[in-house]
Structure 1
Amino acid sequence: MLASAALVLLMTPGLAFFYGGMVRAKGVLNMLMMSISAMGIVTVLWVLYGYSMAFGNDVGNFVGNPMQYWGLKGLVGGNAAAAVAADPSAGVDATAAIDIPLAGTIPQTVFVVFQLMFAIITVALVSGAVADRLKFGSWIAFAALWATFVYFPVAHWVFAFDGFTGEYGGWIANKLKAIDFAGGTAVHINSGVAGLALCLVLGKRKGWPGTPMRPHNLPFVMLGAGLLWFGWYGFNAGSAVSSGGTAGTTFLTTTVATAAAMLAWLLTEKIRDGHATTLGAASGIVAGLVVITPSCSSVNVLGALAIGAIGGVLCALAVGLKFKLGFDDALDVVGVHMIGGLTGTLLIGLFATPQAPAAVAGLFYGGGFDQLWRQAVGAFAVMAYSFIVTTILAFILKFTIGLRLDEEAEVNGIDEAEHAETGYDFATVGSSSVLGHHHPGVEG
């Protein structure tokens, strides 16, 4: 579980490179910084009250008790030890048993760090929708507010099972019984909808959609996709919270669906545009990972192939919606994470098989519509809550500290304006390699 947690943390720098490569050269550092800063902000809030809001005892079917584990009180300690009886002849005094709280079979501290990594990347995911134009200070404030009022409550609904960390958990997991193994609703639908809400309040980039805003570094994008795929095994297989058959199955279905989605995206591109692209391969990988996240424990290999292929095609088509509908989701957070998360969550209702670890029958395996309606209620509840609360938070920031860079700073580049740095120092490259040397036979 510690290794899985470390893998999930690696996903956030992976996401930073994935997003960083997709923006223009003058915005790469800000893109990296939005992901990296989430690692700082969310960690501090998580250990103070976030873990408690997500995994404390349910209050009003809405959130965990924020004071139950405030500052992780009562969770930090050494190894558990059995009681020792007194043995005067050997000079041994009686000692009471030392108990550290467990989550399932693992120390609760391990579960705390594992779930922290999910919280970090969910916040970081939102940043892709608002590239190049959101003030860095406003991003920091947004990240803190959004984690507190959107992610922590939704994580409680989806991930807090009765009796695992607190006695009473969240309504989606325990009352609705929707399946979301590793975060299709809590992570992907949640961040995708939030990205949509934030980019609508923020407005379009200067010159969008007329000015070409091509990715400045496709190798970065592919590096990021590779790190995400690697880290995602901690995300999906790690969510089994033990090493065994469930972890093995989820590792396998994750791989199969991701491969199918990448191929499906490339085929869609080839038919539509005449070319299969590097950006398409990287995006297809991420789409496949997103779409299998909720369903990796509830389908077999054929189900994983189908879900991956359907997700790859739908996400490839969905990324074009922003041009038709006129919202500037810069790096396709809506098309990949919202649509992918929704697709993967709903398809459980069709493809879930009783043989898989979750042991639930979907429509195609004789279960009727029972699981499908549960999936739909969970997905659309998270969607509505996230959209409404994110919109409110965005407007509060817009009319207090302001959200948007001024026009001149945006044109000159957000890296210079907000961080006083550039990703690439073109001036020194030019002078040392070409311009600074006197070539024989060249005048001047």
Structure 2
Amino acid sequence: MVLLKNENHILPLKTSEKAAFIGGFARNPRFQGGGSSHINCFKTTNVLDSVPCDAQVVYAEGFPADRDFYDKALADEAVKAAAEADKAVIFAGLPESFESEGYDRSHMRLPECQNRLITEILKVQPNTVIVLHNGSPVEMPWLGEIKGLLETYLGGQAGGAAAANILYGKINPSGKLAETMPLKLSDNPSYLNFGGGEKVEYREGIFVGYRYYDTKEMDVAFPFGYGLSYTTFAYSNLKLSMENPTEKDTVMVSADITNTGKSAGKEVVQLYIRDLTGSAIRPEKELKGFEKVFLEPGETKTVTMELNKRSFAWYNTELHDWFAASGDYEILVGASSRDIRLTETLHLNSSQRLPMHVHMNTTLGDLLRNPETAEAAKKLIQKYLSGEAGSEAASEAVSEEMTMAMTDSMPLRALMGFAGVSRKELDSVIEKLNK
């Protein structure tokens, strides 16, 4: 379970407060997947039967847990209960008919009856918490108005008791999202490529989940790795065991984590890498490790994770193997993919080299970056520049910065038009470069 929002410390609830529990899921929680994943449980718990014995809780169904049906009488009863309570806790979620095996969801919305009642309750009770029961993300049009949000997913047969323990602070939540929660369905990286017809192309490639949303710098409801606690944590003292490793070395990454709050709790420390080498089109950052650490109030512990060749590598189809390029990599340690607390940079000295086959469309920039062809590339660039220099108007219009950008992306075939190189001469140059 993941605590996603806790504005003004609305959670945990106090037994002295009058709480209105609203929604059919409070009595009949959806705790397992649909279809053939169903099992017959020995015993299931719901949140109503699991709150502390001295808790002041009133219950109003408000809406059913198994279908999208708005009953005005039930809704009015729920609104009245919410208005008369200190806090309202709405148990919302997806009925089995909305998500199961064997078919795809066509939207990310909650049942309309739930969104409608949530809106009505927010008009009379600003201290509102939502508890979600769902197998995958949902759109939350009311997110900016509620003060608390607990994602319970499909919590299993004891999920009701677990939710009650978190709501009343018997347990300090420490879960983190294993997925990004987008704002809406059309934000999803596969939105334009999936659905309809008999052919699906996975055009998003490796850019799925946080690797897509973070690289695109898109607004999301909640980022990958995110999750709150009833306490707070500080990160400090990031250390790398070496700053210039080879691909054969193991780099140990350590950081100190301190519980700066008043409650004991657990933090999931996440390690990401950002590739600065430019060797391939890669995500803005990639998760390479995580560790959960338990801390008493005021306690500090050192968390250590390790990086090896695979931590820096990407799969190269020409090599049929993982390739780790030489160059700089940024080491990022944080509480989520968008809450990076500590950074350091190391330089990887890799003995691996990508195979290079020079052809008409090989760029001058590619040649310049390869140590074996760099000198030849410099001569070809000079040949191009001398050809351009023939025109006084051209030399005035083209800046040095522009020239560098043009030559970096210029294919060798362009030398025939810009530098007066014949096809025969160019074929000879290519043959020598390949040798």
Q: TM-score, normalised by structure 1?
A: 0.26
Q: TM-score, normalised by structure 2?
A: 0.27
- As a proportion of its length, which structure holds more helix? 1
Query: Which one has a bigger Cα radius of gyration?
Result: 2
- As a proportion of its length, which structure holds more strand? 2
